[in-house]
Structure 1
């Protein structure tokens, strides 16, 4: 077992004084000072299930209503939320100290709520986004109302980060998982299904002086062109998913500003529960069949870059340059791999994507064209987003276009994209068997030494390249557009861009 000093050294290097975060300042009079922000949402949440992965738009609404034990700040560093401090004790268990916080119904947040949440998510049939990870917690102890001790069979260096994800909020004990009672900065006032959601500031929020807004009116603009038109017309103050073809005009407008970061990535998932994509040779053939630069140009107006390896950025300490072109465009190699797999003449299949997001459809169309050149006839299936999510979860596809980020900027953040031992999810390949990858992720989670972790994840990347549990396609810029007087909202760095809704508590009109 790693000694206590090394565990604490790891904590200090990744969580940078998170436990000392203080929230100071007088509580504001929301209605008088804050105003109401009009937010352009790209999709209505498929559900309010707090622990299910249902897309970024749903995640943004969750971040208005709910909070986890920890979160990420605008600088990307782990920080406290319902937990004011945390550390690994000498036995390898993680101990969280809770701050004084209340639920939207006025009752206090307690250690019992945290223990119940962990137990519910960890149930084998929970279908929760974090079920696989939280099932590794063997016991949750609550010595008092403000202390939670999580025991695991082996030390887990990355455990605190599991509780930072927007699909892993803490819920009040006994509440249904689609409850709108949370401990976040806003309460849900009303909804018009498929159209809009109205939220108001929660006066009992645990951060003094926040939120700075009186409320948020979130209106769904599923059509990306209408979303931009609403922003330009002044009908909304802030918009997610600014389409790449409109980024320049937003940047050039005196009345607007664009906050864009690179971090999300596009990739292909496979239905590996049946032929032909149960064969890694076929999956590798697909990876080599597609010219990624054409995706970057067609879908992202060159605001991105080719991704022919696992989505680990060049800036990361875990980046391996020798793998940069591991899945490079090579149609001859693709055809040779198909022949070796027993498909010399190719085959027919369905390619799932969605027409609701232009970049998903454009990516699918480029993939379809290049796959046809090596004999793979892919029929496009382009339902609206909620149906696309359902089909992905059910395995109702052969090949699918997906776009997301890793859970965070650590390689362990890729576990939900790559690890086939986790419950089925539309964000990863269906029915995929990844025993070596699963074992290496487990080894990396149990290791605190940085050099050892780098070696482990390099080995994991090599296995992934050889077996192709996904096929990387493209990095993409992710942009929020807003009126020039909107302040405090931050597009989070790198893989954390989809966490940006956390900064709505700091948003105000300048």
Structure 2
């Protein structure tokens, strides 16, 4: 009885169904403005594979074309998309009820599409972002076209959130994973590789009256200064990744608006498949060698903060103050750890970052300078973003600079950054098993009791501090700039900022 009450309480407090957010009625007029939104994209997507993690710019394009079972609203709360409701039944299985929706070819979205998507993503040969999590779904039942029942061996309190991520859209059964056919608000019309992506409003979208613009022209401005110049000149209506040095000038321009939130973070990843970073003492030495205030100043113009622990925000109920300075700047301790690890004179290594995003390069340069002070001679590798992603996936580095957010504001949202049991990905360390952490994540996601979860994640952070599967460096602000007449777009709160493309369906001129 106690477990049942805990489960129901958990559902009521954190994962309420989307009944109040249902999109009712037949589709009405779309593209109310009749205009095309010009969006400054920071990078051309390395590919259009729906389930692969290839960065935020690619994720934004996915959010225009595709939809998952769930998503997040501007308030940061989980909401229904292709699913109009979801709940755990008395046997612990998650049951999703689908709404009436169609693919871009006009055919209906069905439970069979969802079941096929889950099977494809869970296939270990697929290298999908959610492969590790969806492999925990042991079977999927489709009693009718609108019902999907997901069965797991153990209770999974966090399962609905897996289906809200922009790398976890539902695809039509049998379509290739880079298909242009989605169920989102826009259809992909034209690609000018490396230059722009043109999308057109889908007149069969399941939300009445949306999208509010006739189309989106996503134009690549890889140079952040040119991206700001295009915004100031009126050549684009909306721009992602406003660089930190330009945020004040955008705020002070009466013709523009800046929507900025804190949430993303910068961190170090390591290639643990070979020395020297296979040794946790060396990883901890790197953690204590770096003065993070200098990263915040150099890379983010003071729009951020030091991060000396796992990226769990101070405002979170899961924040552990005893770990707040666990990886503090302490060069003497760093030198002692290097000596203990067998490297008293240091060593030479390669640090992977990218020159495409100034904050990545600046963070790398600060780290390079401080690591040299304890005898670690760092050579920087700064390719463009798509090459940086590939090198990260393949382990072509010794240590690397990375910046991202957690999947959501729950500690389980860090699983893709920290859990070494998942397939290789540029967002986490390469070749680094994390058995204790993997087991603690499993315990945390199985519990519906908040107090129990807090204790589990406290122990997980303690283990992470000791083993350093990643090393936190800095929190950072994340900003979108837009013309003053652009409305409806919202930069989602905290760790959800990279989901903000979901609100382009609501964006309009006025």
What secondary structure does 1:8 align onto? helix
Aligned length: 510
Alignment of 1:200 onto 2:190: no
Q: How does 1:348-367 map to 2 (within 5 A)?
A: 348-367=348-367
What secondary structure does 2:108 align onto? coil
**Contact preservation (8 Å) 1:28, 1:212:** no
Tell me the TM-score normalized by structure 1. Answer: 0.99
| CA shift for structure 1 position 32 | 5.7
Q: Can you list the C-alpha shifts for 1:26-45, whole angstroms capped at 9, x where unaligned?
A: 85544563411000000000
**Contact preservation (8 Å) 1:39, 1:217:** yes
Inter-partner Cα distance in structure 2 for 1:55 and 1:2: 42
Alignment of 1:220 onto 2:234: no
Q: Which residue does 1:47 correspond to in 2?
A: 47
Alignment of 1:21 onto 2:21: yes
**Contact preservation (8 Å) 2:263, 2:476:** yes
Structure 2 segments unaligned to the other structure (5+ residues): none
Q: Which residue does 1:114 correspond to in 2?
A: 114
**Contact preservation (8 Å) 1:201, 1:215:** yes
- Deviating beyond 3 angstroms after TM superposition, the runs of 4 or more aligned structure 1 residues are 1-5, 24-32
What secondary structure does 1:125 align onto? helix
Q: Can you list the C-alpha shifts for 1:8-51, whole angstroms capped at 9, x where unaligned?
A: 32112112342331225785544563411000000000000000
Inter-partner Cα distance in structure 1 for 2:364 and 2:328: 18
| CA shift for structure 1 position 389 | 0.1
Inter-partner Cα distance in structure 1 for 2:24 and 2:475: 38
**Contact preservation (8 Å) 1:39, 1:219:** yes
TM-align CA RMSD: 1.1
Alignment of 1:189 onto 2:189: yes
**Contact preservation (8 Å) 1:245, 1:301:** yes
**Contact preservation (8 Å) 2:32, 2:212:** no
Q: Which residue does 1:98 correspond to in 2?
A: 98
Structure 1 segments unaligned to the other structure (5+ residues): none
C-alpha spacing 1:438/1:46, structure 2 compared with 1 (3 Å): same
Q: Which residue does 1:9 correspond to in 2?
A: 9
What secondary structure does 1:187 align onto? strand
What secondary structure does 2:226 align onto? helix
Alignment of 1:167 onto 2:167: yes
10-19 or 436-445, larger mean C-alpha shift: 10-19
**Contact preservation (8 Å) 1:282, 1:337:** yes
Inter-partner Cα distance in structure 2 for 1:70 and 1:125: 25
What secondary structure does 2:126 align onto? coil
Inter-partner Cα distance in structure 2 for 1:434 and 1:484: 48
Alignment of 1:86 onto 2:81: no
Q: Can you list the C-alpha shifts for 1:401-457, whole angstroms capped at 9, x where unaligned?
A: 000000000000000000000000000000011000000000000000000000000
What secondary structure does 1:85 align onto? strand
What secondary structure does 1:33 align onto? coil
| CA shift for structure 1 position 227 | 0.1
What secondary structure does 2:461 align onto? helix
Q: Which residue does 2:398 correspond to in 1?
A: 398
Tell me the TM-score normalized by structure 2. Answer: 0.99
Q: Can you list the C-alpha shifts for 1:245-268, whole angstroms capped at 9, x where unaligned?
A: 000000000000000000000000
Q: Which residue does 2:509 correspond to in 1?
A: 509
**Contact preservation (8 Å) 1:416, 1:428:** yes
Alignment of 1:132 onto 2:139: no
Q: Can you list the C-alpha shifts for 1:91-136, whole angstroms capped at 9, x where unaligned?
A: 1110000001000000000000000000000011110000000000
